[in-house]
Amino acid sequence: MPSNQHASDAFQLLADYLQIPADGSAALTKVFQPKKLTRKQLLVQIGEPCRLIAFVANGTLRSYFTDDRGIEHTMQFASPGQFMTDFVSLTSGQPGQLFIEALEDCELLVLHQSAFDTLAHSRTSYHNLLMAQLTHWYTEMSLRLMDMMSLTVEQHYMKFVDQHPELATHVPQHMIASYLGITPESVSRIRRRAAHHDGHHKQQNHKPD
Amino acid sequence: MPSNQHASDAFQLLADYLQIPADGSAALTKVFQPKKLTRKQLLVQIGEPCRLIAFVANGTLRSYFTDDRGIEHTMQFASPGQFMTDFVSLTSGQPGQLFIEALEDCELLVLHQSAFDTLAHSRTSYHNLLMAQLTHWYTEMSLRLMDMMSLTVEQHYMKFVDQHPELATHVPQHMIASYLGITPESVSRIRRRAAHHDGHHKQQNHKPD
DNA sequence: CGTTTGCTTGAATTCTGTCAAAGCAGGTGG
DNA sequence: CCACCTGCTTTGACAGAATTCAAGCAAACG
C-alpha cells in the first residue's frame, strides 16, 4: 500500500516531535487519525465548536477570522511538525471563532476531542505534553503581542521574515499582512523600501554578460 | 493578632477562587506566603528570572515592559482574586521581560517557583488548576489579540471600559493607553468624542436650579 | 488562452503620534 | 489654611504614517 507510506512518515514525525521512543509510538496510531486536505479546504468552520487538534505532517495550515467589514485576520500558521487547533473553542466547548484552512495540500494527524479530553484529564505523561504545548502557544502569542505593541510595522515585518523564512517565501503576502495586522499594500511598500536600502548597501552580483 | 486577620481573608479568597472546600484550604497556607507591597513597589524586575506567582488579595498589579525608546507597554492588570506572574520567564527559567508593580498598596499570596514546580509536575488536582489558569490566560490574550487586530481604537477602548469598569476608573489613563497600544492623548480624544456623543443622545439630568 | 489571483504603484484621505503648553486635581509642607 | 508642587489629563497645531481607492501587471491555473 503505497499510500500508507506517507502516513507512517507522519507518525514518525509526530513521535520525533513528542520525543517518544520508537517502541512507544505505536500508541499514537490509536489516538491520532491520518487525514488529507486539499489546497483551500477547510478543517474547521467558524460557528461550530472545534473538536480536534491537528498535527501537520505535510503542508501548511492557517487559522483566521473575519471582522465586521469582512477583513481577514490571521491568527496562526502551522508548518510541518506543528500543532494547530482553535484552542479556545476546544477547551470551552463554545462555537469557534476561527477558520482553519489548508494553504496547500496537507497531510495531518488528527486527535479528536474525546481522545484529547481523556489525555487531558489523565495523569499520564500526555498531560505534561499538553501543558508543554500550551505553554509554547502562550509564549508565542505573548511575544507576538509584545512585538505588535513595541515594534514599528517595518521592524515587525522584518522580524517575521527573519524568524519564518519558509512562510515568508511560500505564503501569499496578503496573509502575512493579515497576520501582522497591516494591509497588503503596506507590506508591498515595506518590501520596496527594504530592497532599495539593500541595493544601496550591497550590490547584486549582476554579471555584465 | 489583628494583622493576621487580613491574611486569613486573603487565604479565604484564594480558597474560594480555587473552589477548594474550607477544610482543604489549610494546605494553601503551606505553599502560599503572604506579602505586602506598597504603591509603586516592584514585585518582579526585568532581567531577573521570575520565580513566583502572585495571587492578589487586595490592590492591583500591573505587568509591563519598556521598548527601545523607553515607552511603557502594559501586558496585564491583576485585580483582587486574580493571579499574576511573568509566565514565560517562570516556565522557561530565562530572564524576565516584564516588570510587575503595585499600582496601589497590595496584599498578595505568593507561590514560589520551587513549590510551583512541585505542583506542576505532581499528578494531583493542582495540576488541573494550573492547566485551567493557563487556559484562562491563553484565552484572554487570544481575545485581546483578536480585538487589537479587528477593532478600531475607539471600539477597543470602549470595550475595555465596558469589560473592566473598575480598572477604567481607578487606573491612570496613560496605563490603559499603554495596554491598548495607543497614546494617552488618543485616549483623551476618544473620551471627549464619546462625551460629546453621549451629550447629544441622552441629556444629563441637570436640575434647573 | 482567457480568467483568476496576487502583487505593485500612485494619489488622496484619514488617523494617530508627536511636541509643547496649559489646566486640574490631590497631597505636602510651611 | 493656604500656597506650592507634582503627577496626570486635556488641548491644539503639525507632521508622519497607514489605509483607502483605483488602476495596471505578472504569474498561475484550468
pLDDT tens digits, one per residue of B67-108: 989 999 999 999 999 999 999 999 999 999 999 999 999 999
Q: Is the pLDDT of residue A6 over 80?
A: no
Paired sense of beta strands B32-37 and A61-66, if any: unpaired
pLDDT tens digits, one per residue of A145-199: 999 999 999 999 999 999 999 999 999 999 999 999 999 999 999 999 987 776 5
Q: Is the pLDDT of residue A207 over 50?
A: no
* Cβ contacts of B135 on chain A, cutoff 8 Å: 87, 91, 134
Q: What pLDDT is recorded for position A1?
A: 44
Q: What pLDDT is recorded for position A160?
A: 97
Any chain A CB within 8 A of the CB of B75?
yes
Question: Which among B73, B145, B181 has CB closest to A141?
Answer: B145
CA A120 – CA A130 distance, rounded (Å): 7
Asked if A75 lies within 8 A of B141 by C-beta distance, the reply is no
- Strand D neighbours (CB under 7 Å) are A 152-154, 181-183, 185-186, 189; B 172-174, 184-185, 187-189, 191-192
CA A179 – CA A160 distance, rounded (Å): 10
Q: What pLDDT is recorded for position A158?
A: 96
Nucleotides of chain D touched by protein CB (<7 A): 7-13, 17-22
Is B108 within a domain?
yes
Q: What pLDDT is recorded for position A139?
A: 97
Give the gap in angstroms from C-alpha A143 to the nearest C-alpha of chain B. Answer: 9
From the centroid of its chain, how far is CA A47?
A: 20
Give the gap in angstroms from C-alpha B205 to the nearest C-alpha of chain A. Answer: 35
Is B154 within a domain?
no
Q: Which residues from 157-196 of B have any strand C atom under 7 Å from their CB? A: 181-183, 185-186
For residues A33 and A14, is the Cβ–Cβ distance under 8 A? no
Interface of B with A in 85-104 (CB under 8 A): 87-88, 91-92, 97
Give the gap in angstroms from C-alpha B122 to the nearest C-alpha of chain A. Answer: 9
Asked if B87 lies within 8 A of A144 by C-beta distance, the reply is no
**Can you tell me which residue has its alpha carbon closest to the C1' of nucleotide C19?**
B185
> pLDDT band at A2, cuts 50/70/90?
very low
Is A75 within a domain?
yes
Is B42 within a domain?
yes
Any chain A CB within 8 A of the CB of B132?
no
Q: Is the pLDDT of residue A96 over 70?
A: yes
In three state form, how does the secondary structure of B5-72 look? HHHHHHHHHHHHHCCCCHHHHHHHHHHEEEEEECCCCEEECCCCECCEEEEEEECCEEEEEECCCCCE
Asked if B145 lies within 8 A of A150 by C-beta distance, the reply is no
Q: Which residue has the higher pLDDT, A17 or B51?
A: B51
Is B200 within a domain?
no
pLDDT tens digits, one per residue of A33-91: 999 999 999 999 999 999 999 999 999 999 999 998 999 999 999 999 999 999 999 99
A66, closest residue in chain B (CA to CA): B150
Q: Is the pLDDT of residue A201 over 60?
A: no
CA B73 – CA B182 distance, rounded (Å): 9
Q: What pLDDT is recorded for position A129?
A: 87
Asked if A138 lies within 8 A of B143 by C-beta distance, the reply is no
Q: What is the pLDDT along chain B (209 residues), one digit of tens a residue?
A: 444 455 668 888 888 888 877 666 677 888 899 999 999 999 999 999 999 999 999 999 999 999 989 999 999 999 999 999 999 999 999 999 999 999 999 999 999 999 988 888 777 778 888 899 999 999 999 999 999 999 999 999 999 999 999 999 999 999 999 999 999 999 999 999 887 776 555 444 444 43
CATH code of the domain containing B19: 2.60.120.10
List the domain range (segments joined by +) for residue A110. Answer: 2-122
For residues A56 and A103, is the Cβ–Cβ distance under 8 A? no
Any chain A CB within 8 A of the CB of B26?
no
pTM: 0.90
Q: What pLDDT is recorded for position A195?
A: 78
Asked if B97 lies within 8 A of A131 by C-beta distance, the reply is no
Asked if A87 lies within 8 A of B138 by C-beta distance, the reply is yes
Question: Which among A75, A137, A143 has CB closest to B138?
Answer: A137
CA A105 – CA A36 distance, rounded (Å): 7
CA B20 – CA B15 distance, rounded (Å): 5
Is A27 within a domain?
yes
Q: How far is the CA of A188 from the C1' of D25 (A)?
A: 14
- Please count the structural domains in chain A: 1
Angle between helix A184-201 and A153-163 (nearest 10): 80
B128, closest residue in chain A (CA to CA): A121
Is B184 within a domain?
no
CA quadruple B192, B198, B203, B204: dihedral positive or negative? negative
Q: What pLDDT is recorded for position B198?
A: 65
Is A151 within a domain?
no
- Quick one: which H or E segment has residue A64? strand A61-66
Secondary structure letter of residue A23 according to DSSP: G
Any chain A CB within 8 A of the CB of B38?
no
Q: What pLDDT is recorded for position B24?
A: 64
Cα dist from B121 to A8, B7, B60, B114, B125, whole Å:
32, 28, 30, 11, 11
